[in-house]
Structure 1
């Protein structure tokens, strides 16, 4: 018994999430590599002959670990013009080649630390670009009925990439010579090759095909992903929705950067910037980038195992995180998650500072304190993976009208990568000065993030893009938005039920599912035509 075209297409769309795996693999690899002796011998800038050990100055370590995020910031801003010109499929393949070349340059680094750093920046270009392009391609190509599941697989693959990278680094830690760090890097090449080959067998986004005036190919792609014949009338609603939405978007004219900071959009623009900033300021990368150093500093003899535990918790917690976002909404998971992380960081930092010498790696062994800190680190990672890791991206994706969505999302994503770089670069300097008290900074940021969500972010779960836009334009108070959303959804469902009873022939072509992908002709206050979103991602 063979597989249907729809099943094959969905399997291939999940393979696109290898871009997330590549991102996670880079994050999960670098922390362990910097603690391998051969890597330190080649790229560290300090050597203690009395103990025969190598170490890094804060500047050197920050550059080796953090400069990848400079590349991701630039890549996330550069990807849109290329995608508009050649399409998302070809763009993903091009940026994958950039990723592969960056890994090769890292592998060929011998003794020049700046070559490795430049290679990390080059690799970062592709990671930043793919983090924008891949979810967009998945949301535009997958059927509406499973779009949310397909797109959220990107986040799942990020955590899986981190976890697998932790396992590989752990397995290679005792290998002598350059193989200890080159093998984990070489394995990362496999992920890029899988993505590149997979994209060769995938179609272009139907939305892009319509944009370049290829409606027949657009309809064929829709038929393939749905597993039906291109002439099937069941495709009419979605095909017409894509055609009309493209016409309406281009009718609105180009959007200027000044428009997203104008009086009608600046509230949501700054909200998106704040949400994505606090996702980084919550402190997760403090553990992912410097986990081995952190646990070495609390007296854990094998800090690689501690990082492996955190990676496993992060991956396993992503599954309940998908349930939380889809079923419990956006606002309260973000608020509760931030408070939870605040408590975890307070305990982690208090135990580390009061029980151990505050300057991390110089701490004497204290097994009890170390175990407590690992436990609360795991509780922190669980909270982050269930709430802020997926929900921050979702709430940003659902908050903007389509016409300005690309630029607003770019600005928000740029804030995310900027803080990612600042945290990864300056952490060695800050830890050297204040040790485990650094956790108090992240604790305060978590609390501030909870307050920002409570006072400024509206609940968007279950609402179409038009309904979200109307909610913000109408000035609904964020703390009252949950009730507002439930009322809108109830009224909409009641209206659909009446329509199906009065006009039963419309039940198959004007169902709730089709409504989600049918653009509205109604103009909202800012004068732009909006289209619906399904599960927070553009159709």
Structure 2
């Protein structure tokens, strides 16, 4: 097996996140020109934005489980090809229906990447670095969003009939890079171990660990219970249920906090507070830069605190920031007030990028047992994209019927509920191997069965 630098493995392993970010972020600027070119209604505007999310739900639920069967590497390359097709289709769309269909295709790749990247990074990362390395996914997502904002601004000077085509079509370039990089990526050692290719698994581990650590980790994989590929029946079993609650709960709350609404519609929000098209796009570049810087910081400090503690800090911080936004947007946004509003929005994004952004994807990549990891991460991603679809599709309509202060206030309440959920249901995974996390799930299932026997009930077999 060809030896590759660990840095390159982690980089290309996370590169799908860049496309994930670019293709979800680029529409925030492109939609300003698309709706003028194609004369879109408010509902059609919402459909163009949210169509990628519909595709993402399909991709998350199909490509994730397929990676359990065919391997993580092949599905990364497959997703890169879909990225390429969807990007070019969007750029050359002659009318509304073709654009929506092209963005659904693009969404399949986005959803697939959202399930594949956390899984792959969690399976190649050492336990002591897994939080930081899987957070590379979110760093790439935020870098992709920033790149989209910069590209939007760069092409904003062109005629509105062609500028959005360049914005949407630019994603073809990183798509091709991801496909080429995928050729050189090694397969996940956990996947290789599950299909009993232990020699190949050891070769990959030797690229990423010291020899003694690689041997010890391989032995852990061999000593684990016999792993047979599981499906939805196993995903909903008592053994997996605590992981499923964590994955689904975090996925829902991450969207109901309103993050992607702010990211998608940042230029629209800036225009609503009195800024022009060009100034709105430049404002999003500034916010995107803050996001990347904070996410890079989060990668460095992720392992200094537990996952639960970071999530609680983020939930409270976002709630306070959203309350501030609700108050600020209740006043006329002129002069200095416009910039104060941007600062409040920046603080909201900072708390998200440092906590819920990377940690949600980190936890769904590590909390599920190996036998159902692809299905579990895929299902959690499906729920995440479904919640994303619901929120983003309704946002233009909500803007027509409710004021921004009310909308931000609702999101603040969601942040408070999310913090309660974390306190009650999430268990700590920092610094533990994937096998140790799986053992915790088995212990919890056994305790639950023992409790049911004491209570005079029949335990459920698993």
Fold equivalence (TM over 0.5): yes
Kindly state the Cα deviation for residue 404 of structure 1 after the two structures are TM-superposed: 4.3
Maintained 8 Å contact 1:98/1:126: yes
Q: 2:267 aligns with which of 292, 314, 324?
A: 292
Q: 2:128·2:431 contact (CA, 8 Å) conserved in 1?
A: no
- Corresponding residue of 2:169: 186
Provide the aligned C-alpha RMSD in A.
2.8
C-alpha spacing 1:429/1:457, structure 2 compared with 1 (3 Å): same
1:105 offset after TM fit, Å? 0.7
1:101 aligns to what SS in structure 2? Answer: helix
Cα distance change, pair 58–324 in 1 and its aligned pair in 2 (3 A): farther
How far apart, CA to CA, are the structure 2 residues paired with 1:385 and 1:234? 32
Q: Whole-Å Cα distance in 1 between the matches of residues 298 and 213 of structure 2? A: 33
- C-alpha deviations, 1:246-288, integer Å up to 9, x for none? x6113xxx54534444455445423331221111111111211
Aligned-pair CA distance for 1:369: 2.7
Count residues in correspondence.
445
Distance apart, 1:203 and its partner CA: 2.6
Q: So what's the TM-score if we normalise by structure 1?
A: 0.76
Alignment partner, residue 20 of structure 2: 23
Cα distance change on mapping 1:210 and 1:309 into 2, 3 Å: same
**Whole-Å separation in 2 of the counterparts to 1:223 and 1:330:** 28
Cα distance change of structure 1 residues 472 and 393 upon mapping to structure 2, 3 Å threshold: farther
Q: Given the two structures, how large is their TM-score scaled by the length of structure 2? A: 0.87
1:99 paired residue among 74, 80, 83: 83
Q: Aligned pair in 2 of structure 1 residues 156, 95: CA closer, same or farther (>3 Å)?
A: same
Q: Can you list the C-alpha shifts for 1:370-409, whole angstroms capped at 9, x where unaligned?
A: 2221110001000111111112223344444444444433
Q: Shift of residue 446 of structure 1? A: 0.7
Pairing 1:456–2:428 present: no
The counterpart of 2:326, out of the listed 349, 371, 385, is 349
Asked whether the equivalents of residues 159 and 315 of structure 1 are also in contact (C-alpha less than 8 Å), the reply is yes
- Aligned partners of 1:384 and 1:324: how far apart in 2? 15
- 2:155 matches 1:160: no
Q: CA contact under 8 A between 1:325 and 1:390: conserved in structure 2?
A: no
Distance 1:398 1:74 in 2: 22
| Partner deviation per Cα, 1:314-354 (whole Å, 9 max, x = no partner) | 1111023224431111222212211111111111122212x
Question: 3-state DSSP class of the match of 1:35?
Answer: helix
Structure 1 position 78 matched with structure 2 position 62: yes
Note closer, same or farther for the CA distance 1:177–1:402 as it changes in structure 2 (3 Å cut). Answer: closer
Q: How big is the shift at 1:19?
A: 0.5
Alpha-carbon distance in structure 2 between the residues aligned to 1:104 and 1:197: 18
For 1:249, the equivalent position in structure 2 comes to: 227
Is the contact between residue 399 and residue 468 of structure 1 (CA under 8 Å) also seen in structure 2? no
**Structure whose residues are more often helix by fraction:** 2
| Matched residue, 1:237 | 216
- 1:328 matched to which residue of 2? 305
Q: Following the alignment from structure 1 to structure 2, what is the Cα–Cα distance between the partners of residues 199 and 256? A: 26
Q: Does residue 43 of structure 1 match 2:11?
A: no
- Is 1:279 the counterpart of 2:257? The answer is no
Do 2:56 and 2:111's aligned partners in 1 also have CA atoms closer than 8 Å? yes
8 Å Cα contact 1:13-1:138 kept in structure 2: yes
With over 3 angstroms needed to count, the CA separation of the structure-2 counterparts of 1:324 and 1:115, relative to structure 1, is: same
**Partners of 1:209 and 1:475 in 2: CA distance:** 31
The verdict on how the C-alpha distance between 1:262 and 1:281 changes in structure 2, with shifts beyond 3 A counting, is: same
After superposition, the C-alpha distances for 1:510-537 in whole angstroms (9 at most, x for unaligned) are xxxxxxxxxxxxxxx9987xxxxxxxxx
Measure, in 2, the Cα distance between the counterparts of 1:311 and 1:32.
13
- Residues 387-396 or 19-28, more deviating: 387-396
Determine if contact 2:68/2:374 at 8 Å carries over to the other structure: no
Higher relative contact order (CA 8 A, sep 6+): 2
Contact 1:331 1:457 survives alignment (8 Å): yes
Which segments of 5 or more consecutive residues in structure 1 lack a partner in the other structure?
Answer: 46-56, 357-364, 477-524, 529-539
Q: Between Structure 1 and Structure 2, whose CA radius of gyration is higher?
A: 1
Q: Does 1:11 align with 2:18?
A: no
1:140 Cα shift?
3.1
SS for the counterpart of 1:430 is helix
